[in-house]
């Protein structure tokens, strides 16, 4: 497991603005942004834990399959939008 540390952008917002690879840098940033000491900085820092996986071999046919799926999904969404536009224009013309 690895961790990154994110610093909150303001006291009133739940959005985290900057991420750091170690806690010391996150504490320094939080102290500077919010004008607090190191003990007060912990309220503005969130630890995000993630699992690092070793890269796996990707076969070229896997990439082709993903590209084919993306193209198929794009074409299907285009067809749905086109049908919706045609139906909407037909409804407007009838009224």
Domain boundaries, the chain: 2-50, 56-95
Q: Give 47-90 as a DSSP string.
A: EEEE---------HHHHHHHHHHHHHHHHHHHHHHHHHHHHHHH
More confident call, 53 vs 71 = 71
Residue 2 has pLDDT above 90, yes or no: no
Q: To which H or E segment does residue 18 belong?
A: strand 16-20
Q: Record the pTM.
A: 0.52
Q: Per the structure block, which two tokens stand in for 15?
A: 């959005």
pLDDT in tens, 54-93: 777 777 778 888 898 899 999 999 888 888 888 887 777 7
pLDDT of 25 > 90? The answer is: yes
């Amino acid at each position: 497991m690895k961790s990154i540390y994110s610093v909150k952008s303001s006291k009133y917002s739940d959005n985290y603005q900057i991420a750091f690879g170690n806690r010391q840098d996150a504490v320094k940033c939080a102290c500077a942004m919010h004008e607090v000491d190191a003990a007060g900085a912990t309220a503005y820092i969130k630890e995000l834990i993630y699992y690092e996986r070793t890269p796996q071999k990707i076969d070229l046919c896997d990439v082709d399959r993903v590209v084919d799926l993306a193209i198929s999904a794009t074409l299907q969404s285009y067809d749905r939008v086109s049908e919706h536009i045609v139906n909407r224009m037909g409804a407007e013309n009838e009224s």
